[in-house]
Amino acid sequence: MSLTSVNPASGEVIGEYPEMSPVEVANIVDNAHEQHLGWRTTSFAERSERIRSVGTVLRERADELAELMADEMGKPLSGGLTEVEKCAWVCDYYAEHAERFLSNEPVESAAATSYVAYRPLGVVLAVMPWNFPLWQVFRFAVPALMAGNAGVLKHASNVCGSALAIEEILLQGGCPEGLFRTLLIGSGQVRSVIEHPLVRAVTLTGSTEAGRAVAAAAGRMLKKSVLELGGSDAYVVLADADLEAAATACVTSRLINSGQSCIAAKRFVVVNSVKERFEQLVVARMEAAVVGEPRQDGIEVGPMARHDLRDELHDQVERSVASGARCLTGGRVPPGVGAFYPPTVLTDVKPGMAAYEEELFGPVAAILAAQDEADAIRIANDSPFGLGAAVFSGDLARAERIAAEELEAGSCFVNDFVRSDPRMPFGGIKESGYGRELASFGIREFVNVKTVVVQ
């Protein structure tokens, strides 16, 4: 069996990768553990030097990596370059801060000496998606490695080239050979990797269904897991909002990565008094987005990563319209090759419709009407997901209260769109998962929080 990469803009097969056997996988895990035993004894200064070097390699290879992502999953080049720079940023961030995040913490007690120490666990398995082929991996791998762990990666089958490039970049930056390895395997082997006795923990970014499967497998083995799952982020637009700025932020978020982002704005919850004007502004901005082949200059929206994903999204649009939603723009599969889908706006979206109940993982915005602030908050929270949310209002104190106290999500922004940042913890609640990545919280997910007492 082999894993296949297909260019979603042309339909051309661009890579065939033989799947590793269970024996090969077990040997890789065994070797990663051996490398971890040496790596965990290195100083933070040495680890920082190597991880900074990884960041340098990323910046040197930025153009090449952006082109690879464009070919494998359709990311426009501008988005690819931004993604590479963000990966380099997370290298710089943890190289600077990891030692402080993991330094011993003295605790007053009756003993002569007592403190909390943070020590690495060992080999961490990462199961990662295709939508941000580099960033999703680096935001896990860099803190895990800086903490003294080893890593093995099961990436999405359509981005094997990116997966192998990540392994190569870490090696080129000076990480020991075998400390971080890519496993070229399908989803059918994930459970057996989790069950390997030297895999100490697992992290997954992906669908809620995949998260349940991985959490169940990790739970059976009593292994730590961190899950960053789907999202249907609600952006609440109140009557006193700057509608021009709100529409720009909402559309920018909705079209990031051609709409294929867990934290993209997906549900625009707008109070009735400004709904019509907001619709006009959103439609104008969605229609102005430049759609095309991802290697071309100036492209904002490329193809979706696979044809089946495009067809699933179109089915959600059609089912929503059949249930009473109105399509203000887009909503038609374009002719020709490529998994393209136009920026689409649905309005009058109500409970029971696909656009209300399901995650729309593509360039489709759903507008939901609310009577007032309280109703808007109720609608925003009426979702099984809880990854990100935003609120737009001219009253900053009011908006901050809603973001901090009312909206049910792991990240809540005021008058801006949600995005991850190495300096801030990232993750969700409800069916969007558990655990946190990034900041001090992320690096402490995969360590032994050890109590040390000296009498």
Torsion angle in degrees (nearest 10) through CA of 299, 301, 302, 303:
-160
Q: In what order do the strands lie in the sheet with 433-434?
A: 180-182, 150-154, 123-127, 199-205, 224-228, 433-434
Residues 6+ apart with CB under 8 A from 206: 127, 128, 129, 229
105 is catalytic: no
The tokens describing 278, both together, are 């907001």
- Are 262 and 229 in contact, with CB atoms under 8 Å apart? yes
Q: Is 1 helix (H, G, I), strand (E, B) or coil?
A: coil
Catalytic residue among 250, 262, 279, 358: 262
The tokens describing 261, both together, are 């982002």
- Distance between CA atoms of residues 172 and 448, nearest Å: 29
Could you tell me how far CA 180 lies from the centroid of its own chain? 20
As a whole number of angstroms, the longest Cα–Cα distance in the chain is: 76
Dihedrals phi, psi of 384, to nearest 5 degrees: -70, -15
In 3D, which of 200, 36, 16 has the Cα closest to residue 126? 200
User: How far from 391 is each of 41, 282, 345, 401, CA to CA, in Å?
Assistant: 46, 16, 19, 10
Where in 96-139 does DSSP place strands (E)? 105-106, 113-120, 123-127
228 is catalytic: yes
Query: Which residues make beta-bridge pairs with 370?
Result: 271
Say if strands 429-430 and 199-205 run parallel, antiparallel, or are unpaired: unpaired
Catalytic residue among 72, 83, 167, 228: 228
2: number of CA atoms within 13 Å, CB side? 9
The tokens describing 60, both together, are 């040197």
Residues 6+ apart with CB under 8 A from 207: 229, 230
Task: Give the amino acid at 47.
Answer: R
Dihedrals phi, psi of 121, to nearest 5 degrees: -90, -40
End-to-end CA gap in the chain: 59
The residues that are catalytic are 228, 262
